Structure 1
Amino acid sequence: MHVPDGFINAPVSVAAGVAAAGAVAVSLRGARRELGGSPTALAGAERTAPLAGLVAAFVFAVQMLNFPVAAGTSGHLLGGALAAILVGPYTGVLCIAVVLLMQGLLFADGGLTALGVNITVMGVVTVLVAYGLFRGLVKVLPRTRRSITGASFVAALVSVPAAAAAFTLLYAVGGLTDVPIGTVLSAMVGVHVLIGVGEAAITMLTVGAVLAVRPDLVYGARGLSTPLKLRVGGELVDAEPAEPAQPAAARSPRKVWLTGLATALLLAGFVSFYASASPDGLEKVAADHGIDKTVEDHAAADSPLADYGVADVSDARVSGGLAGVIGVSATVVVGSGVFWAVRRRRTSEDPAPARVTDSA
C-alpha cells in the first residue's frame, strides 16, 4: 500500500507529513519506556531494544513477499500490528517509519513527498487500530498463549482495511483525480480485507514462534503468564516452580536475534524471487479506476537499488536477492542505531537520583 507521489495533492501531503512527524516525535518519547531507556521503564523493557532493529528488518524482508489475493492482485505485510505486539506501540510506529524511509530513499518504493502519507496510513493507523484491539481482546480472553496469538490474528486482520479506509479519507480530501469516493472506498476496503487475512496469518505465526521460544520477548504478552497447572487427584492445582530459574532479564536474546536476522536475510535474499509479480491492492485499484493518471516519477528512480534490483546486475534472481540482502542489512543497522540512541537519550524530564546527605 505504498502511496506514490502524485496521488495526493501538496497541502494534504504536507498536513499528513506534519501529522506523521508529530506521531514520530511522540513515539520517540514513548519508546524510551518500552526500550528500557527511562527510569519508569516497564519490567522487561531492557530486552526490547536489541530486538527493535531486528523487527524493522524483518518487516522490510516480509514486505518483499507479495502474495496473491485475487485475480491479478497481490498483497504484502504492512507490519504495524506485528511490530506493536512484539516491541510495543510506540516502538512499532518507529519500526514502520524506519522501514518506509529506507524503502523510499534506497528502493524508490513509496513517494518521498508522500512519505508522511505512508507513515500515517501504514504506520500510525495500523499500530493504533491493531494494538488497541489487541489489548482489548487480551483483557477479556483467558490468559493463555493461544489468546495472544488469536488476538494478534484479529488485530492484524482489522488493521489492514482500516489503513485502506484511512488512505481513502486522505484521497477524499486531497485526491488529484475525479473518482467517486464511494467507489474508491469499496474497492480499497474490499481487496484489503483479503490482504488482511494474509497479514493476520503472518502476524499470528511470527508472534506464536517467538512466544514458543521466548515469551518474555513479546511486549504484548508481558504480565499475561499464568502458573503451570497440574492435575492432582482429579483437580487442577498450581505447580511449584521447578527451580529458582535464571532471571528472564539475564537471558540474552542473542539466539533469537541471530535466528530472526538469518530468517529475514533468507526471505529477502532468496524467497522474495518467488513473490507474486501482480500489482498490490492499491496499485490495482489505482489502475482500474484511473487514480494513477497523475502519478509522478519517483525522485530516487535512478537509485542503484530502485525497484528492488541492483543496477548493472543482469541476472534477475541475483539482482533481486542482493537488493533484498542490502535492504535488510541497512534497515537493521539504521533501525538498531535509532533505537539504541532513543534508549540512551536522557531528557530534562527524567528525575535525577536524589542525593542523600548526612545532616548530623
Structure 2
Amino acid sequence: MHVPDGFINAPVSAVTGVIAAGAIAVSLRGARRELDERTAPLAGLVAAFIFAVQMLNFPVAAGTSGHLLGGALAAILVGPCTGVLCVSVVLLMQGILFADGGLTALGVNITDMAIVTTVVSYAVFRGLVKVLPRKRRSVTVASFVAALLSVPAAAVAFTFLYSIGGTTDVAVSKVATAMIGVHLLIGLGEAAITALTVGAVIAVRPDLVHGARGLRQRLKLRVNGELVDTPAPEATAPVAARSSHRTVWITGLVASLVLAGFVSFYASASPDGLEKVAKDKGIDTKVEKHATEDSPLAGYGVKDISDARVSGGLAGVIGVGATVVAGTGVFWAVRRRRTSDTSPASVPEGV
C-alpha cells in the first residue's frame, strides 16, 4: 500500500507530513516508557522483520497480491508508540534506498501505514484482551482480529485522503469499494502472519510481548500446605533470561535474513492491492518519477547484477541490515534518553 508521488496533491501531502512529524514526536516520548534494556534491541529487530516480510507479497485474488503492513505486529510486540516508530523506520528505508513509496508522499504513507494501523489495531487488541480469558491464547486471538481490522482501516484512510487530495478525477465511491474489498482479503494474510509471529514469541518469551504484560499468572508452589507465588524467572535465573533473550534476537534476525534474502524470490509478482486498484481505476495517471529511482537498490535489486535471484536476495539482505541498524540505533537512543531523564542527577533538589 505504498503511495507513490503524484497520487495525492501537495497541500494534503504537506498536512499529512505535519501529522506524521507530530505523531513521531509523540511516539518518541511514549517509547521511553515502553522500552527497556530487553525490548530496545527487540524493537530494532521488529522493524527489520517487518521490512523482510513486506517483501513477501502473497496472492489474494486473480492478478492481485498483498503484503504485511506491520502496524499491528509492532504495536503488540513492542508497544503502540514504539510500533509507530518501527513502521516509520521501515517506510523511510524503503523510500530512500529502494524507491518504494514516494518521498513527498512519505507523510501520507506514515499516516496511513504506521499511525492508522497501529492506533486501530492496538485499540481493538486492548479491548479484546479485557474481555477474553487471561490466557496466552487470548493474546494470539486478539492479535489476529486486531491485525485483520487494521488493513481495511488503512484502506479507508487512504480513500479519505484521496477524496480530499486526489490528483485524478475518479469517483471516490469506486475507489472506496475497490480498496476496502481487496484489503479485507489482504487483512486475512496480515492477521495470519501477525498471530503466528506473536504466538511464536509468546511461546518462548512471553515477557517480551508488550501486549501480554499483566496477563501472565505467577506459578504457585505448595509449601507446608499453603500455596505461595514462585519467584519471578528473572530473579531466579537472570543469566538464563539474558541467554534466552539473545537466542530470540538471533533467531529473529536469521529468519528475517532468510525471508528477505531467499524466500522473497518466490513472492507473488502481481501488483499489490493499491497498485491494482490504481491501475484499474485510473488513479495512477499522474504518478511522478521517484526521486531515488536511479539508486543502486531501486526496485529491490542490486544494480549491475543480472541474476535476478542474487540481485533481489542481496538487496533484501542489505535492507534487513540497514533497517536493523537504523532501528536499533533509534531505540537505543530513546532508551538512553529515558535512563538519563530518570537518573538521580536529573531529579531537582528537594524532590
| TM-score bucket (shorter structure) | over 0.9
Partner of residue 216 from structure 2, selected from 206, 225, 231: 225
Match of 2:9 in 1: 9
SS of residue in 2 equivalent to 1:69: strand
3-state SS in 2 of match to 1:224: coil
Q: Please list the CA deviations of residues 96-130 of structure 1 after superposition, one character each: whole Å capped at 9, or x if unmatched.
A: 00000000000000000000000000000000000
Pick aligned residue for 1:167 from 158, 162, 165: 158
The aligned residue for residue 319 of structure 1 is: 311
Structure 1 letter corresponding to 2:71: G
Q: Which residue does 2:275 correspond to in 1?
A: 283
Contact 1:53/1:331 (CA < 8 Å) preserved in 2? yes
CA contact (8 A) 2:220 2:230 kept: no
- Answering whether residue 168 of structure 2 is matched by residue 177 of structure 1, we say yes
CA contact (8 A) 1:216 1:248 kept: no
Q: How does 1:29-108 map to 2 (within 5 A)?
A: 29-36=29-36, 46-108=37-99
The Cα of 1:49 is off from its aligned counterpart by: 0.7
Q: Deviations over 1:279-306 (max 9, x none)?
A: 0000000000000000011100000000
Measure, in 1, the Cα distance between the counterparts of 2:340 and 2:314. Answer: 44
Q: Post-superposition shift, 1:199?
A: 0.1
Cα displacement (A) at 1:348? 9.8
**Compared CA separation, residues 34 and 246, structure 1 to 2 (3 A):** closer
CA distance in 2, matches of 1:48, 1:299: 35
| Aligned residues with identical type, % of pairs | 75
Distance of 1:47 and 1:178 partners within structure 2: 50
Asked if the contact 1:269–1:320 (Cα under 8 Å) also holds between the matched residues in 2, the reply is yes
1:21 partnered with 2:42:
no
Cα distance, 1:132–1:354 mapped onto 2, change above 3 Å:
same
Partner of 2:265: 273
More helix by share: 2
1:246 deviates by 3.8
Deviations 1:233-256 (A, max 9, x none): xxxxx9756676443893221110
How many residues are matched? 342
Q: Partner of 1:68: helix, strand, or coil?
A: strand
Seen in structure 2, the aligned counterparts of structure 1 residues 221 and 295 have a Cα distance that, compared at 3 Å, is same
TM-score (norm 2): 0.93
| C-alpha contact 2:219 2:230 (8 A) present in aligned 1 | no
Q: Does 1:199 align with 2:190?
A: yes
Kindly tell me: are residues 116 and 300 of structure 1, through their superposed partners in 2, closer, same or farther at Cα, counting changes over 3 Å? same
Q: Decide whether aligned partners of structure 1 residues 258 and 21 sit closer, same or farther in structure 2, where only a CA change above 3 A counts.
A: same
1:159 CA displacement: 0.2
Cα distance, 1:30–1:245 mapped onto 2, change above 3 Å? closer
Does the CA-based 8 Å contact 2:218-2:230 persist in structure 1?
Answer: no
- What is the one-letter code of the residue matched to 2:137? R
CA distance in 2, matches of 1:134, 1:239: 33
CA RMSD of aligned residues (A): 2.2
| 8 Å Cα contact 1:73-1:280 kept in structure 2 | yes
Q: Tell me if 1:139 matches 2:130.
A: yes
Secondary structure at 2:83's aligned position in 1?
helix
Per-residue deviation, 1:342: 1.0
Task: Kindly report which structure 2 residues correspond to 1:290-305, keeping only aligned pairs within 5 A, or say none.
Answer: 290-305=282-297
SS at match of 1:112: coil
Runs of 4+ in 1 over 3 A off after TM superposition: 227-230, 238-246, 346-357
Check if 1:333 corresponds to 2:325: yes
Summarize deviations over 1:13-71 as a string: whole Å, max 9, x none: 000000000000000010011113xxxxxxxxx32111010000000000000000000
Q: Distance in 2 between matches of 1:93 and 1:197?
A: 21
For structure 2, the 5+ residue unaligned runs are: none
Structure 1: any 5+ residue segments left out of the alignment? 37-45, 231-237
